Amino acid sequence: MILWKGKATMFRVNENYLKLPVNYLFSNIEKKVEAFSKAHPTLKHRVIRLGIGDVTQPLIPAIIKTLHEAVDEMGQMETFHGYAPDFGYEFLRTAIMKNDYQGRGCNIEADEIFVSDGAKSDCSNIQEIFSEDSKISVCDPVYPVYLDSNVMAGRTGVWNSQTKMFSKVIYMPCIRENNFSPEFPKEIPNLIYFCYPNNPTGSMLTKAQLQEWVDYANCVGAVILYDSAYEAYISEENIPHTIYECEGARTCAIEFRSFSKNAGFTGVRLGFTVIPKDLKSGNVSLHNLWRRRHATKYNGAPYIIQKAGEAVYSSEGQSQIKEQIVYYMKNARVICEELKSVGYTVFGGVNAPYIWIKTPAGMNSWEFFDYLLENANVVGTPGSGFGPSGEGYFRLTAFGTYENIVEAIERIKKM
Ligand SMILES: Cc1ncc(COP(=O)(O)O)c(C=O)c1O
């Protein structure tokens, strides 16, 4: 055995990870459901899962056809594609620019769009280009990824198990009293995470409300990180489809989009991030930093998948995905109307595929989770898992099949 000279020190881990809850919220739920199913092998009903926001409808024909064609291209010398361009193929970036931005009167260029494998990666990775001491603000309740990615980066301070908050994070309560829309925080943040249409509350900001936030961010020198993964579900007028509909957003906002919820790409993986070239800290362009990061750490979404993304914007693609959205929103309407009919107080479900339910008096979020699982064999998500202001609420998704939704609601009504 070789004896090395010098004092050895054991390798060390990134201790910020130790500040995270042991499991991601949905892994915890899955464990509970598994334990319940094991303990009750002869259940009368099968368990219906309306917890995690995963789609259930198959990919539309226009996408399947394009996928087949793109696979065939990969088998021919003349049409084979190797590494994709780091920032995305021009054909997809142009389709996004025209349909999602210029078609809505927003001045976004194709080279301000970065194609990726989904919004979750981008909205968790984006914090890397900001200083370590950036002060972040999040809505409470919040999609956990914004917070957890900042915990990993060491930006959130100490966890307080009493308040269930991190010491250095600015929490913006989104509660019934403020119609689930955040108010300007007392302390000024550097980074403001927004998700509209909102997961988990299903709420929206009107264009006038979002404009106020854009004005605020430009005034205090903050960046709005705007996750619009559920944009396709907006049904009401006067709701912005992109933050770039607001004047001044080019100097203060980054937008994240996903193909997961509008076109069922949760298992296919495709998304994009928009960083306008006007967005700067002093004379440093965030667009350039993200370009650098993307070029170093990312090798591009697959050609086949980007072709499928382009098919979403074809006229057949658009009409077929609209049918799916109508399908899920019918589910949302059933959940809202039926639960209201038996006395539940429900929010959301109009511009978003999420329904935010007030738990019955005397029951907290996890108690209602257990009650629903035991009595209706239905799985939802406890609101408190999204933050302290989510306590006393419960989230159901409209992404199930219509048959499952109807059955789940019937069972809940009978409890
Ligand atoms: C708010 C929000 N952003 C992003 C994502 C993930 O999107 P993607 O599948 O594109 O990674 C989700 C998924 O549930 C989400 O709810």
- Are the CB atoms for 385 and 393 separated by under 8 Å? no
Query: Which residue puts its alpha carbon closest to atom 3 of ligand 1?
Result: 229
pLDDT score, position 1: 67
Binding site membership of 143 for ligand 1 (Cβ less than 6 Å): yes
Give the residue from 176, 175, 174 showing the smallest Cα distance to 195: 174
Give the residue from 180, 154, 184, 181 showing the smallest Cα distance to 166: 154
- Are the CB atoms for 348 and 386 separated by under 8 Å? no
pLDDT score, position 12: 95
pLDDT score, position 24: 74
CA of 148 to the centre of ligand 1 (A): 14
Binding site membership of 125 for ligand 1 (Cβ less than 6 Å): no
Q: What is the DSSP letter of 232?
A: G
The CATH number of the structural domain formed by 62-314 is: 3.40.640.10
Q: Which atom of ligand 1 is nearest to the CA of 53?
A: 14
Query: Which residue puts its alpha carbon closest to atom 5 of ligand 1?
Result: 120
CA of 135 to the centre of ligand 1 (A): 23
CA of 127 to the centre of ligand 1 (A): 16
The vertex-314 CA angle with 68 and 100, nearest 5°, equals 125
Q: Tell me which fold the domain 23-59+316-414 belongs to.
A: Aspartate Aminotransferase, domain 1 (3.90.1150)
Mutation probe of ligand 1 site: the residue of 55, 258, 305 with most atoms within 8 A of C-beta: 258
pLDDT score, position 323: 98
pLDDT score, position 304: 98
Residue 132 Cα distances to 153, 155, 197, 273, angstroms: 8, 6, 29, 21
Q: What is the DSSP letter of 100?
A: I
Give the pair of three-digit tokens for residue 366. 């996890």
Binding site membership of 144 for ligand 1 (Cβ less than 6 Å): no
To which H or E segment does residue 260 belong? helix 260-263
Q: Which atom of ligand 1 is nearest to the CA of 259?
A: 10
Binding site membership of 118 for ligand 1 (Cβ less than 6 Å): yes
Binding site membership of 258 for ligand 1 (Cβ less than 6 Å): yes
- Are the CB atoms for 167 and 157 separated by under 8 Å? yes
Q: Residues near 6 by Cβ (< 8 Å), separated by ≥ 6? A: none
Binding site membership of 260 for ligand 1 (Cβ less than 6 Å): yes
CA distance 393 to 142: 13
Binding site membership of 199 for ligand 1 (Cβ less than 6 Å): yes
DSSP 347-403: EE-SSSSEEEEEPPTT--HHHHHHHHHHHH-EE-EEGGGG-GGGTTEEEEES-S-HH
Q: Which atom of ligand 1 is nearest to the CA of 198?
A: 1
CA of 54 to the centre of ligand 1 (A): 9
Binding site membership of 231 for ligand 1 (Cβ less than 6 Å): no
CA of 226 to the centre of ligand 1 (A): 12
In whole angstroms, what separates CA 358 from the centre of its chain? 22
pTM: 0.96
CA of 120 to the centre of ligand 1 (A): 5
CA of 306 to the centre of ligand 1 (A): 18
Whether residue 173 is preceded by a cis peptide bond, meaning omega within 30 degrees of 0, is no
CA distance 269 to 181: 30
Binding site membership of 264 for ligand 1 (Cβ less than 6 Å): no
Give every residue of the chain whose pLDDT is below 70, as ranges: 1-2
Alpha helices in 119-243 (DSSP H): 119-125, 144-152, 207-220
Q: Which atom of ligand 1 is nearest to the CA of 265?
A: 9
CA of 397 to the centre of ligand 1 (A): 13
Binding site membership of 261 for ligand 1 (Cβ less than 6 Å): no
Q: Which atom of ligand 1 is nearest to the CA of 195?
A: 1
Query: Which residue puts its alpha carbon closest to atom 14 of ligand 1?
Result: 53
CA of 266 to the centre of ligand 1 (A): 9
Binding site membership of 119 for ligand 1 (Cβ less than 6 Å): yes
Q: Where in the chain are the domains?
A: 23-59+316-414, 62-314
CA of 9 to the centre of ligand 1 (A): 40
